[in-house]
Amino acid sequence: MTERVYVFDTTLRDGEQSPGASMNIEEKLLLARQLEKLRVDVIEGGFPISSDGDFESVKRIAEEIRTVSIAGLARAAKIDIDRCWDAVKPAAKPRIHTFIATSDIHLKYKLKKSREAVLEDARQAVRYAKSLCQDVEFSAEDAARSDLDYLCRVIEAVIEEGATVINVPDTVGYAIPSEFGESIRYIRTHVPNIGKAVLSVHCHNDLGLAVANSLIAVQNGVRQVECTINGIGERAGNASLEEIVMALHTRKDLFDLECGVNTREIYPASGLLTNLTGLVVQANKAIVGRNAFAHEAGIHQDGVIKEKLTYEIMTPETVGIKDSKLIMGKHSGRHALKRKYEELGFDLSQAALEKAYVLFKKVADRKKEVFDEDLIVIVRDGLRIFPEAYRLKYVQSSGGNQIIATAAVMLEKEGELMRDSAVGDGPVDAALRAIDRITGMPGRLMDFSVRSVTRGTDAVGEVFMKVDFGNVSFIGKAASTDIVDASTRAYLNAINKMVHYQMAVAEHKEGQLGTEVV
């Protein structure tokens, strides 16, 4: 019988640690639902002890997602493991993932502990986790730089304590494939009880080798790979899920392993993550980049027209890129919109569909054709998780290279209309200053990006900004065919988060907001 490789997705934990990738609870739930559709085997929902926000999102995911194992991360300490267990225990298939570093560098400088002390900590942690949860994963952080014989002793000990999965991370992306493959082979031949656990790897991409290292590990007997959508993660990221899965799929002749992932959900998952975080994948990114299936050279185009096999090793349809025939425009109704969203992988509730429909109509009034990317941005932009203290009624601006830019803005707060105007360094600056005059809570723009999500001069532009309010910063996002409109609404999005934060602080609920930048 063909063996199975388990896919452990850590987009919501390691991936979310990458700069700019933070998501709120509702956004994490949306992604978790897509990961369930993608049929990954394990979702690592977060690091519950790290913040109340992380705890809450792991718990919500554990309560809702029923067909996938839900893991939470915990250091090898009772307090972490208890917190993790509280978060994952509602899951149909809960997993505690506990870790401690095993490399001499980490022992000497970070943990300041001897090898024997760390081995004992690892033992105790797994023993305790096992007393709470049947499924316990142990990770030897910085395994790739650890002494192999010591690593084998630690692994043997934690399997004795009941670890079901042993993860060998290349935490700093240091390993070279031939060497990493050898290390895996060494572990498999030098740990007597290794057959009682599933062996796993978790590779970082500092040298661009995360996927290569994961695949060589699989060829040497590893049966769980840890990875993230679009390869996001600490520093240069983690091994990319789509690349590993499509390598296993496309080269089944070589690997001959089963993988449960539904490849047709890869592209929707990638698009959803981009739209939730604003982290855009490069055009030439394997599998999910805009150019991944584009043939530009004349010789290539000619070949593909004659026979796709000449230059295509997999089809766009296999990864869920749809050559959709459903064209959306201003005459499209709710039914068509619902079907279109289903095609794009979104299962919208009636209320979400209504919201999306209103925004869709606005976009459709301004554009001849509404593209898939527009629609994705519409649902994302329509997902206003934070209650809106301020709503934009209108923004009117003028600018040019010969006149001073001015803007007039009207906002609504609890039924009251407030209006003001300002001049600025360009129409966006003027609009934001007018908002500052109304709200009395000026923010400082730390980061500001505009990206066109569709084609043409009438494209939808998506604005991301990080706004600093002194002691805390918030991310604001919005999209529109008009850059000033999008910037104004992105700024208000950040202000509304700030208002929400101030209310929570006032109610002594500071911890509920989780990380500093949300």
Site for ligand KIV, rule CB under 6 A = 14, 99, 139, 141, 167, 169, 171, 202, 204
CA distance 357 to 227: 35
CB of 413 to ligand KIV, least distance (A): 43
Nearer to ligand KIV, 14 or 429 (CB): 14
CB of 512 to ligand KIV, least distance (A): 25
Nearer to ligand KIV, 144 or 276 (CB): 144
Nearer to ligand KIV, 109 or 394 (CB): 109
**What are φ and ψ of residue 309, in 5° steps?**
-60, -20
Q: Where are the beta strands (DSSP E) in 327-469?
A: 391-398, 405-413, 416-424, 444-452, 461-468
Q: Pick what 220 binds: Zn ion, ligand KIV, none; C-beta below 5 to 8 Å, kind-dependent.
A: none
Nearer to ligand KIV, 171 or 332 (CB): 171
Nearer to ligand KIV, 196 or 235 (CB): 235
Nearer to Zn ion, 14 or 121 (CB): 14
**Which residue stretch of 7-15, 73-81, 88-96, 241-249 sits at the interface with Zn ion (rule: CB under 5 A)?**
7-15
CB 405 within 8 A of CB 397: yes
**Which residue stretch of 14-22, 27-35, 69-77, 143-151 sits at the interface with Zn ion (rule: CB under 5 A)?**
14-22
CB of 238 to Zn ion, least distance (A): 6
CA dist list (Å): 459 to 270, 363, 368:
21, 10, 11
- Helices 427-439 and 483-506, packing angle to 10 deg: 30
DSSP codes, 416-437: EEEEEEEEESSHHHHHHHHHHH
CB of 272 to ligand KIV, least distance (A): 23
Nearest to 48 by CA among 516, 518, 517, 514: 514
**To which residue do tokens 């896919």 refer?**
7
CB of 178 to ligand KIV, least distance (A): 21
Interface residue with Zn ion among 14, 137, 141, 381 (CB under 5 A) is 14
Binding to Zn ion (CB under 5 A) within 227-256 occurs at none
Nearer to ligand KIV, 152 or 359 (CB): 152
CA distance 45 to 53: 11
Q: Pick what 99 binds: ligand KIV, Zn ion, none; C-beta below 5 to 8 Å, kind-dependent.
A: ligand KIV
Strand partners, 97: 73, 137
Nearer to ligand KIV, 139 or 277 (CB): 139
CB of 234 to ligand KIV, least distance (A): 7
Strands 136-141 and 258-259: unpaired
Strand partners, 452: 461
CB of 113 to ligand KIV, least distance (A): 17
Question: Residues with Cβ < 8 Å from 452, sequence gap 6 or more?
Answer: 459, 460, 461, 462
CB of 233 to ligand KIV, least distance (A): 8
CB of 135 to ligand KIV, least distance (A): 16
- Helices 177-190 and 210-219, packing angle to 10 deg: 40
Q: Pick what 481 binds: ligand KIV, Zn ion, none; C-beta below 5 to 8 Å, kind-dependent.
A: none
Q: Is 179 helix (H, G, I), strand (E, B) or coil?
A: helix
Q: What tokens appear for 354 in the block? A: 């209504």
Nearest to 318 by CA among 282, 273, 271, 266: 266
CB of 169 to Zn ion, least distance (A): 6
Strands 4-9 and 42-46: parallel
Nearer to ligand KIV, 169 or 320 (CB): 169
CB of 137 to ligand KIV, least distance (A): 9
**What are φ and ψ of residue 348, in 5° steps?**
-85, 140
For Zn ion, how many residues bind (rule: CB under 5 A)? Answer: 1
CA dist list (Å): 339 to 273, 327, 398:
21, 11, 39
**Which residue stretch of 8-16, 126-134, 186-194, 302-310 sits at the interface with Zn ion (rule: CB under 5 A)?**
8-16
Q: Pick what 139 binds: Zn ion, ligand KIV, none; C-beta below 5 to 8 Å, kind-dependent.
A: ligand KIV
**What are φ and ψ of residue 364, in 5° steps?**
-65, -30
Q: Could you give the strand order of the β-sheet that contains 416-424, starting from the edge strand earlier in sequence? A: 391-398, 405-413, 416-424
Give the CA angle between residues 6, 118, 84 to the nearest 5°: 50
CA distance 433 to 421: 8
Nearer to Zn ion, 165 or 409 (CB): 165
Q: Pick what 57 binds: Zn ion, ligand KIV, none; C-beta below 5 to 8 Å, kind-dependent.
A: none
Nearer to Zn ion, 14 or 242 (CB): 14
Residues at the interface with Zn ion (CB under 5 A): 14
